[in-house]
Amino acid sequence: MLKGSRMALRSLVSVQNVTHNPPIFTCCLKPTFQSKGHMPHKVLRSNISRRIGAIAAVATIVLVKEAMFSQDIANGLEFKFATPDRRSVEEAESGVRDYAQSLLQLKDLLGSQSWKEAQKVLRRRSSNLKLDLYAVIESKPGKDRTQLRTLYANLFNNVTKLDYAVREKDVSLVWQCYENIVASYDHILSRI
């Protein structure tokens, strides 16, 4: 009897009683317009507004270009502003001496290890010195320019190295770069 009930249970367990329904897929078609030549009012209006927007943008660009680059408008008043890159050679030479002296005064800040202040002074003064020194070099005769450009590159490569050394707080590299800056600056001043 036990044997018969086990077989009956086994047959119930082994037979799959679960019905499996496959998924049903449906396909929907997009509604099409009745005729190909007829565009809906909304689409037609958006195309027209895009065209008007594009035409307005192009017209604005053309008018702004004419207004900005027209020579007739700017001839009323002429102010002579001296920008750092358009300074006279004499002003640039005096600027080179002033900015370089302030760069040489970095020694006090570097000695007291005021790294942030030294970086600020270095960055502020070196950018102005770079502009003025470039103006002075360009005013020199062609035969002197190559040597001055080499010294210029050497000076500002050392300024960049000094900036990185100050950022890393590498004291030995800071003093090495500072000495190289002083030497390069002395060579440049002797040639100017």
90, 96, 101, 102: CA torsion to nearest 10: 120
Per-residue pLDDT, averaged over 28-56, amounts to 62
Query: Whole-angstrom Cα distance, residue 128 to residue 137?
Result: 14
Residue 118 corresponds to which tokens in the numbers above?
Answer: 């030294």
Question: Binning pLDDT at 50, 70 and 90, where does residue 143 land?
Answer: confident
Query: Whole-angstrom Cα distance, residue 152 to residue 185?
Result: 9
Query: Whole-angstrom Cα distance, residue 8 to residue 85?
Result: 102
**pLDDT at residue 106 tops 60:** yes
pLDDT of 44: 52
Query: Whole-angstrom Cα distance, residue 139 to residue 117?
Result: 33
CATH architecture of 84-191: Up-down Bundle (1.20)
Give helix 89-104 / helix 171-191 axis angle, nearest 10°.
Answer: 150
Question: Binning pLDDT at 50, 70 and 90, where does residue 26 land?
Answer: low
Structure pTM? 0.52
